[in-house]
């Protein structure tokens, strides 16, 4: 076997494994949809699958009483579906890579059976970590499916959730949105409400200000997701864009440190993070405050204490002037990525927000003292 033959063999086996498991992910989604089906047989199939969620419950604790039923009603059907998917590739690829994948899946089945249904993605947790895979499913990612059973369906490779936007629970979750009086914030509140989110709002300068967050504590304790859409472009930029945002994130994180799932924060950045003030005096304070926040945001992005999403939009039409897109379009684009699990969210026609990802992740200067960035 040449090196090229080996590469082709590995690719064929990899494609077979990934797509065959995606076949079960599609069935998995259907089993949850069938929960309310008008057909009794489909509701019965769905009830069998829910045994798995009783085995590893919403509280991420194992219930041993359902261990045997979990094997019969979840593990074996998952294996059978995957093996069916693997077999279909005999019509496409030569048999050797197909057999290898079938053997791997069978070994995984035996190991899971020996552990009575426990494996890397199915174990008790007191705290779900914020670091979750995007392309590949890890234990933190799959744990979110057990906490929010109507999302996070992918089992190994994250193909299904990326395609169908089932990687973020909106319905029934509590959102606290700042800057809801602005164009982006107002459009986001409307979108979240339409999707079934429970939304509260808070206004900068009224409900909170730099150093004064006493009126926010109860709202932060109720919130599952904190959305920071407030800011300023000309007056008091430092407090509006940096101080209040970082203070609210720190307070929200501290209040949520004992929750089962990590606090989630969405914050609106800016393409000015990439291009700076462009030598324009009127942009200097704005650019400095936004770049300072982006440097701090990178720590949040890497943290396991909170799940942080950094939204970077192109200019959009607002009270500050005409933009490249409407605020509603910007929100729809942001939600497209958020519902597919992206933690860096580029909202752009120009591509600058995509280029900014490289700067945001790899080329920001370390800020030893935030106060010096003013």
Report CA-CA distances (Å) from 336 to 121, 162, 214, 251: 26, 10, 34, 28
Q: What is residue 175's predicted lDDT score, i.e. its pLDDT? A: 98
> Whole-angstrom Cα distance, residue 266 to residue 248?
12
Q: Considering the entire predicted model, what is its pTM?
A: 0.92
pLDDT in tens, 138-193: 999 999 999 999 999 999 999 999 999 999 999 999 999 999 999 999 999 999 99
* CATH 3.40.50.720 matches 174-363: yes
Is residue 272 within 8 A of residue 352, CB to CB? The reply is no
Find the mean pLDDT for residues 219-240: 94
> Whole-angstrom Cα distance, residue 64 to residue 311?
42
Average pLDDT, the chain: 93
Work out whether the CA dihedral 278, 280, 284, 287 comes out positive or negative. Answer: negative
pLDDT in tens, 234-267: 888 999 999 999 999 999 999 999 999 999 999 9
Q: What is residue 350's predicted lDDT score, i.e. its pLDDT? A: 87
Q: What is residue 372's predicted lDDT score, i.e. its pLDDT? A: 39
pLDDT at 373 over 50: no
Is residue 273 within 8 A of residue 360, CB to CB? The reply is yes
Report CA-CA distances (Å) from 103 to 67, 96, 126, 138, 251: 24, 11, 34, 22, 50
pLDDT over 90, % of the chain: 85
Phi, psi of 170 (to 5 degrees): -110, -50
Domain boundaries defined on the chain: 3-164, 174-363
Q: What is residue 366's predicted lDDT score, i.e. its pLDDT? A: 53
> Whole-angstrom Cα distance, residue 319 to residue 317?
7
Among 50-59, 130-139, 297-306, the least confident range: 130-139
pLDDT in tens, 201-211: 999 999 999 99
Residue 11, both tokens: 């690719």
């Amino acid at each position: 076997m040449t090196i090229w033959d080996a590469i082709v063999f590995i690719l064929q086996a990899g494609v077979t494994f990934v797509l065959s498991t995606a076949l079960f992910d599609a069935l998995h989604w259907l089993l949850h949809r069938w929960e309310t089906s008008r057909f009794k047989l489909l509701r019965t199939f769905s009830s069998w699958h829910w045994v798995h969620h009783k085995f590893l419950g919403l509280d991420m604790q194992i219930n041993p009483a359902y261990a045997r039923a979990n094997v019969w009603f979840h593990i074996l059907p998952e294996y059978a579906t995957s093996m069916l998917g693997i077999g279909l590739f005999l019509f496409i690829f030569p048999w050797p890579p197909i057999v290898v994948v079938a053997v791997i899946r069978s070994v995984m089945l035996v190991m899971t059976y020996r552990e009575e249904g426990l494996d890397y993605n199915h174990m008790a947790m007191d705290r779900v970590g914020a670091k979750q895979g995007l392309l590949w499913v890890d234990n933190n990612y799959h744990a979110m499916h057990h906490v929010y059973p109507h999302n996070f369906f992918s089992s190994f490779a994250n193909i299904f959730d990326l395609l169908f936007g089932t990687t973020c629970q909106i319905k029934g979750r509590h959102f606290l949105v700042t800057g809801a009086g602005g164009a982006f914030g107002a459009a986001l509140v409307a979108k979240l409400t339409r999707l079934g989110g429970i939304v509260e709002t808070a206004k900068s300068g009224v409900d909170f200000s730099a150093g004064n967050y006493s009126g926010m504590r109860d709202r932060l304790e109720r919130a599952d997701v904190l959305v920071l859409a407030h800011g300023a472009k000309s007056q008091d930029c430092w407090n509006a864009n940096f101080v209040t945002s970082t203070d609210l994130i720190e307070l929200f994180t501290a209040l949520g440190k004992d929750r089962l799932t990590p606090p989630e924060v969405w914050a609106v950045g800016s393409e000015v993070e990439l291009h700076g003030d462009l030598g324009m005096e009127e942009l200097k304070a704005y650019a400095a405050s936004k770049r300072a926040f982006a440097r701090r945001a990178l720590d949040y992005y890497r943290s396991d204490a909170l799940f942080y999403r950094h939204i970077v939009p192109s200019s959009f039409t607002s009270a500050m002037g005409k933009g490249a897109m409407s605020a509603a379009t910007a929100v729809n684009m942001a939600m497209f990525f958020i519902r597919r699990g992206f933690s860096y969210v580029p909202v752009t026609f120009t591509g600058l927000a995509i280029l900014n990802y490289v700067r945001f992740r790899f080329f920001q200067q370390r800020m030893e003292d935030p106060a010096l960035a003013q």
